[in-house]
């Protein structure tokens, strides 16, 4: 399982760089500064959690536990919900489509997943092998 999280971290890291470059070069000229900032926040949190996924993969090799697997799952779900909702919100704002601001309500659920992942990572260190 540890290699799975490491692979996901690598792919997610690649996507972070690609999406960050997209925001810096392509998106800046097309949308408002607010939309770019929203998009870049998604990229930043995605990139932070690349390292969390890497840590889970590395720690799992030495300290395998279900708690650690769930920590990785919550980090990944947090990326999908938090960053994904911000990407979607920025693009919807850019296309000036009214009525889609509810997408922003998904973002806190991603934040809760991030918190759960960090808490489970912390708790995994108290598990006895």
For 91-114, the pLDDT digits (tens) are 887 776 666 667 878 999 999 999
Nearest to 20 by CA among 87, 94, 79: 87
Please report the sign of the dihedral spanned by the C-alpha atoms of residue 46, residue 48, residue 51, residue 53.
negative
Other beta carbons less than 10 A from residue 119's beta carbon: 13
Instruction: Determine the length of the chain.
Output: 129
pLDDT for position 129 = 57
Residue 30 and residue 39: Cα distance in Å, rounded?
13
Residue 50 and residue 113: Cα distance in Å, rounded?
14
pLDDT for position 15 = 96
Once rounded to an integer, what is the mean pLDDT over residues 23-46? Answer: 89
Chain Cα centroid distance, residue 107: 11
Is the pLDDT at 39 greater than 70? The verdict is: yes
pTM score > 0.75 for this model?
A: yes
For 40-99, the pLDDT digits (tens) are 999 999 999 999 999 999 999 888 899 999 999 999 999 999 999 999 988 887 776 666
The residue written with tokens 């097309």 in the block is: 30
pLDDT for position 28 = 80
């Amino acid at each position: 399982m540890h290699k799975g999280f490491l692979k996901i971290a690598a792919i997610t890291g690649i996507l972070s760089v690609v999406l960050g470059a997209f925001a810096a070069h392509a998106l800046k000229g097309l949308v408002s500064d607010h939309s770019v900032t929203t998009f870049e926040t998604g990229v930043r949190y995605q990139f932070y959690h690349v390292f969390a996924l890497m840590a889970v993969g590395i720690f799992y090799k030495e300290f395998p536990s279900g708690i650690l697997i769930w920590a990785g799952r919550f980090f990944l779900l947090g990326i999908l919900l938090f960053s994904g909702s911000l990407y979607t919100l920025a693009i919807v704002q850019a296309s000036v489509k009214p009525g889609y601001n509810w997408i922003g309500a998904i973002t806190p659920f991603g934040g809760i997943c991030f918190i759960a992942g960090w808490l489970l990572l912390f708790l995994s260190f108290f598990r006895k092998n």
